[in-house]
């Protein structure tokens, strides 16, 4: 992995990284606390597509200030990276390989590795948790069923048809491939679900479905539903959710 320092926020050094993901070189943001020691790692998987929902360096630094090395992939085709996103299809390799690169860092040597996925990043987080041994997973305002996303988001249908080749009726296998629920028994880590009850981008039904499938496979899961909260939480609720996220991660640092 190629690492270039970009900036500093408080006691966190922020870097732009370039790493190999299958046939592409992709980019991301890396936050490392300045103290010379090892830390647990967090792979932060953003939501959105292209510039919508792009990684915020302040968010990377905020997580890192809790004592974590944080790697946030931009996903292929973004910020100078090669390739093109396909919304949780082949671009999930960017998450898998990001996890591997995080594990290789001397700053995380032997420490626990966690995954946080926001919005569509939750799909990436769950598939990464099936493919790699994470210590814990957090799904925040997360998608869990891609067909449900198609049905409840008319504004995304054109994009979904482009990346899948059609709609859920004509191309069901492509939507199933992007839906982690049917493969949830492969999850290896405990999952925390955080969701706003009034989310108009990713309905709270995604959270309820994910919990149901996890419990049905006897997987450890905890769910926090925030009354009145939309997709992006307001300040006090956001701080509470961050606190619950860090508590969850710390609880599983040795697993």
Is residue 119 flagged as an active site residue?
yes
d(CA 199, CA 59): 21
Determine which one of 119, 141, 144, 203 is catalytic. 119
Is residue 231 flagged as an active site residue?
yes
What is the edge-to-edge ordering of all strands in the sheet holding 41-45?
2-9, 12-21, 24-33, 69-73, 41-45, 113-118, 136-140, 191-196, 221-226
What secondary structure letter does DSSP report for 145? Answer: -
DSSP string, 15-78: EEEEEEETTEEEEEEEEEESSSS---EEEEE--SBTTBTPPPHHHHHHHHTTT-EEEEE--TTS
CB 140 within 8 A of CB 117: yes
d(CA 251, CA 191): 12
Which secondary-structure segment (H or E) carries 138? strand 136-140
d(CA 62, CA 197): 25
Determine which one of 171, 208, 231, 232 is catalytic. 231
CB 140 within 8 A of CB 116: yes
**What six digits make up the tokens of 185?**
């028994």
By annotation, the residues acting in catalysis are 119, 231
């Amino acid at each position: 992995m190629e690492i270039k320092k970009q900036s500093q926020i408080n006691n966190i050094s922020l870097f732009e990284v370039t790493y190999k993901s299958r046939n592409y070189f992709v980019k991301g943001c890396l936050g490392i606390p300045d103290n010379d020691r090892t830390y647990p790692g967090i792979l932060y998987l953003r939501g959105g597509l292209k510039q919508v929902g792009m990684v915020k360096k302040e968010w990377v630094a905020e997580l890192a200030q809790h004592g974590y090395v944080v790697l946030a992939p931009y996903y292929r085709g973004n910020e100078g990276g090669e390739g093109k996103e396909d919304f949780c299809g082949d671009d999930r390799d960017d998450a898998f390989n990001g996890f591997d690169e995080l594990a290789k860092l001397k700053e995380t040597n032997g420490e626990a590795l966690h995954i946080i996925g926001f919005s569509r990043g939750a799909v990436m987080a769950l598939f990464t948790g099936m493919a790699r041994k994470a210590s814990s997973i957090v799904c925040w305002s997360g998608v869990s069923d891609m067909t449900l996303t198609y049905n409840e988001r008319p504004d995304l249908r054109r994009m979904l048809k482009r990346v899948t080749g059609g709609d859920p009726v004509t191309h069901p296998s492509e939507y199933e491939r992007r839906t982690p629920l049917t493969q949830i028994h492969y999850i290896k880590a405990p999952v925390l679900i955080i969701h706003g009850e009034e989310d108009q981008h990713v309905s709270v039904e995604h959270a309820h479905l994910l919990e149901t499938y996890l419990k049905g496979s006897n997987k450890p899961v905890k769910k926090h539903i925030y009354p009145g909260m939309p997709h992006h939480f307001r300040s006090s609720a956001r701080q509470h959710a961050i606190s619950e996220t860090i508590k969850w991660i710390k609880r599983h640092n040795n697993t």
